[in-house]
């Protein structure tokens, strides 16, 4: 199946962002790391500074405990994954139409 280059680049961008987030998370453990691994002697929440006030976020909520840069990278990763999936769906439709002998959709 031949795919468009846009789909390939969108896949590479999404993989780069997701692997970067996973690597950052692995190299920057926070105070909830031990609690999530089963050490019940650690606190079940972490104090996070939001808009000048301290908020206690449960350890089960990963996203609010991250910095603004990591949250922005997460949003970019979700958007790039959605773009990849939309491009992939268009490529699959074009492939099926070409296989059935129908006219190819314009890109």
Q: Which pTM was predicted?
A: 0.77
Residue 104 CB contacts under 8 Å (≥ 6 apart), including other chains: 94, 97, 98
* The pLDDT of residue 55 is above 70: yes
In the prediction, which pLDDT does 5 show? 86
In the prediction, which pLDDT does 49 show? 78
């Amino acid at each position: 199946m031949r795919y468009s280059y846009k789909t390939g680049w969108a896949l590479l961008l999404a993989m780069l962002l997701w692997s970067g987030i996973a690597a950052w998370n692995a190299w920057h453990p926070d105070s909830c790391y031990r609690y999530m691994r089963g050490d019940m002697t650690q606190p079940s929440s972490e104090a996070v500074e939001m808009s000048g006030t301290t908020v206690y976020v449960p350890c089960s909520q990963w996203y609010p405990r991250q910095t603004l840069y990591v949250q922005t990278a997460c949003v970019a990763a979700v958007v790039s994954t959605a773009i990849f999936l939309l491009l992939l769906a268009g490529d699959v439709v074009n492939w099926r139409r070409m296989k059935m002998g129908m006219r190819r959709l314009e890109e």
